[in-house]
C-alpha cells in the first residue's frame, strides 16, 4: 500500500515518480563554486548556480547603482552566486540578503564574512525582516528580486523519513499560501520594469506553477511571465524544472522568471 506522499507525487508525475523518488534518495550532487576571482569557494548544488544566474542572464544589464533583494537568503549560496556576478560586472549598488529566522540569519552572516572580500562587503546588507511585509515597507525599491521560497523540500523530507507515512497534503497547501503572500510582497517591492525570480526546491505543483498561476490571475496587470525560453531546462506550464532523475542528480529546483509592468 502506498503512503499518502507516494499517492500525491505519483499523481503528479505518473510512472516517472518511482525513478524520480529513487534519484531523490541518492546523495545530492555538489560542486565547488569559485567566488570573487577565487577569493573563496562555496559548495552547493550546481542546479542552484544555474537558477541563481537566471536573475541576471539574458536580460538587460542592471544599472550600476540599482538595488537587489534576496527575500529568503539563508543559507546564502544563491546570494553568493548573484553577488559574485554583479561585482564582476562592475555593479556598485546595494544587495539586501534577508532572512527572518535568527538562527539561519546568523549562518548567513557567517557566509558573508567568510566568502565576501572586504572590498565588496559594504555592498551586501543582511536583514531580518518579515519578507511578506517588504513590499509594503519598501515599495518599488528593487530592480531585481529573488524569492527562493520556503517549501516542502521533498528531498530533505525523504532523507529524514524515506517512508513518509505521516505526510499530509495539508503541508504543501499551507506552504503554498505562505509562498503566495511572499510573491505578492516581491511584486510590490519591485520597481516598474524589474525582474522577479521565483524558485523552490519543491516538486509540488501547489508550490510551483500553482503559486505563479494564482499571481498571474490576480495581478496580471502588474506582472507578466518573461517570454524568454530557457534552453537546457525542463519546461512546466509557467516555469522550469531541474530534476535529479534527468540532470545527473541535480535539484530538484523549480524556477519562474517574471517581469513587472512599466
H runs (alpha helix) in 89-230: 102-115, 118-121, 134-137, 154-160, 169-189, 209-219
Q: Tens digit of pLDDT for each residue in 163-219?
A: 888 899 999 999 999 999 999 999 999 999 999 999 999 999 999 999 999 999 999
Q: With contact defined as beta carbons under 8 Å apart, do 223 and 216 qualify?
A: yes
Q: Is 201 a catalytic site residue? A: yes
Architecture of domain 4-260: 3-Layer(aba) Sandwich (3.40)
Cell numbers at residue 255, please?
524556477
Measure the CA–CA gap between 211 and 9, rounded to whole angstroms.
17
Q: Tens digit of pLDDT for each residue in 9-64?
A: 999 999 999 999 999 999 999 999 999 999 999 999 999 999 999 999 999 999 99
Burial (CB < 10 A; 0-12, 13-18, 19+), residue 157, is middle
Measure the CA–CA gap between 77 and 232, rounded to whole angstroms.
21
Beta-carbon contacts of residue 164 (< 8 Å; ≥ 6 apart): 3, 4, 5, 6, 157, 158
Q: With contact defined as beta carbons under 8 Å apart, do 41 and 80 qualify?
A: no
pTM of the model: 0.97
> Dihedral sign, CA of 63, 64, 69, 70?
positive
Cα 92 → chain centroid:
23
Least confident stretch, 122-126, 188-192, 210-214, 231-235 = 231-235
What is the DSSP secondary structure assignment for residue 120, as one 8-state letter?
H
Instruction: Given the residues 72, 151, 184, 201, select the one marked as catalytic.
Output: 201
Enumerate the domain spans of the chain: 4-260
Burial (CB < 10 A; 0-12, 13-18, 19+), residue 64, is exposed
3-state secondary structure (DSSP) of residue 33: strand
Q: With contact defined as beta carbons under 8 Å apart, do 129 and 96 qualify?
A: no
Amino acid at each position: 500500500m502506498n503512503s499518502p506522499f507516494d499517492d500525491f507525487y505519483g499523481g503528479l508525475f505518473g510512472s516517472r515518480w518511482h525513478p524520480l523518488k529513487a534519484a531523490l534518495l541518492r546523495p545530492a550532487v555538489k560542486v565547488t563554486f569559485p567566488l570573487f576571482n577565487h577569493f573563496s569557494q562555496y559548495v552547493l548544488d550546481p542546479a542552484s548556480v544555474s537558477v541563481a544566474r537566471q536573475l541576471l542572464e539574458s536580460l538587460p544589464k542592471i544599472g550600476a547603482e540599482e538595488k537587489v533583494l534576496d527575500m529568503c537568503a539563508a543559507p546564502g549560496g544563491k546570494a553568493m552566486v548573484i553577488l559574485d556576478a554583479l561585482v564582476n560586472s562592475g555593479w556598485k549598488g546595494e544587495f539586501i540578503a534577508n532572512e527572518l529566522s535568527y538562527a539561519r540569519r546568523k549562518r548567513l552572516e557567517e557566509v558573508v564574512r567568510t566568502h565576501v572580500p572586504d572590498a565588496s562587503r559594504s555592498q551586501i546588507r543582511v536583514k531580518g525582516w518579515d519578507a511578506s511585509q517588504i513590499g509594503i515597507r519598501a515599495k518599488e525599491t528593487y530592480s531585481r528580486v529573488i524569492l527562493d521560497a520556503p517549501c516542502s523540500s521533498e528531498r530533505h523530507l525523504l532523507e529524514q523519513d524515506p517512508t513518509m507515512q505521516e505526510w499530509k497534503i495539508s503541508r504543501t497547501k499551507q506552504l503554498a499560501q505562505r509562498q503566495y503572500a511572499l510573491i505578492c510582497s516581491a511584486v510590490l517591492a519591485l520597481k516598474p520594469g524589474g525582474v522577479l525570480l521565483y524558485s523552490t526546491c519543491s516538486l509540488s505543483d501547489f508550490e510551483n506553477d500553482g503559486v505563479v498561476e494564482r499571481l498571474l490571475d490576480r495581478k496580471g496587470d502588474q506582472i507578466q511571465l518573461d517570454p524568454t525560453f530557457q534552453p537546457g531546462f525542463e519546461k512546466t506550464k509557467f516555469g522550469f524544472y531541474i530534476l535529479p532523475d534527468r540532470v545527473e542528480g541535480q535539484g530538484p529546483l523549480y524556477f519562474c522568471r517574471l517581469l513587472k509592468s512599466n
